[in-house]
Structure 1
Amino acid sequence: MEAENKKLDQFTKNVIQEAELAIPSTDFLANVMDKVSQEKVPVKVYKPLITKVGWLIIGALFLLFAFVLTRFSLGFSIFGDWDLSSLMIEKYKPTIGIPEIPVTYAYCFFFLLVFVVIQIRLIKKQFDKRFTNFG
C-alpha cells in the first residue's frame, strides 16, 4: 500500500513539474467583466403593500368615520358606562379656552395609540429577524 502511495506521489510531482504556467491574455480582466456585465440579474423592485392612493382612501374613511360618529351620535355606547375620556382627558384638561374633546375622539385616540404600539413592536421584531439573518 505504501509503495502505491509513493508511486502516486512521484507521478503527481512529475505532472506538476511538467505543467506550464498559463499566462492570461492582456485583456483577460476586461473580457471577464464584459461577460459578467452582459448577464441579466433580476432586479427586486420595491412594491408597497398599500399604495399612496390606498393610504389616502384609508385616511379619508377614518376622517369620515370620526366626523359621522361625533356629529350623528345615536346616544348609546358599546362600552356601556365605561368612559375612557375620564382616564385620558380629565387629568390633563387644559386650563386655556380650548373646547372640550368629544368622547368618541378619546376612544379613537386611545385605540389608535394601542394599535401603534402593537405595530411598532411587530415591525421591530421583523427588522430584528431581517438583520440577524442578514449578518
Structure 2
Amino acid sequence: MEEQFKNIDDIAKKLVQEAGLHQPSAHFMESVMKSVTPKTAIQPYKPLLSKRAWVFIVLGFVSMMFALYIVPATDFSLLKEFSVAEYVSFKNPFSEVKMNKTTVYGIVFLSLFMLQIPFLKHFLEKNR
C-alpha cells in the first residue's frame, strides 16, 4: 500500500519539476485590484433616524413614563372638564410593580452599559 502512494508521490514531483512554476506578470496585482474596486463612488452610511430624532423619541418616552407615574388619575383635569372621568379611569401602571433587588441592579447596570456605548464608539473612532 505504501509503495503505491510512494509511486504517486514520485510521479507528482516529476510532473511539477517538468512543468515548472508559473510566475504572474509584473503588474498582476494592480490589474486585479483595478478590476475589483468599484467604479462608482460609495455613498456614506446615513442612518434612518437622525440623532436629533432619537433624542426627541427618548425624551418623549421618558416624559410620558414620568407623567404616568406622577399624575394620579383623579387630578387629570382634561378628563374632569369633559366629564369623561366617569367612564375612563386611569391609574398608575407602576403602582403594583414590585421588583427584586437583583432585577433593579440588572436594569441599572444594563442602562449604564447602554449609556457608555456611544462614548466608547466616539473614543474608538477618534483614536483610529
Structure 2 length as normaliser, TM-score? Answer: 0.40
**Higher relative contact order (Cα pairs below 8 Å, separated by 6+ residues):** 1
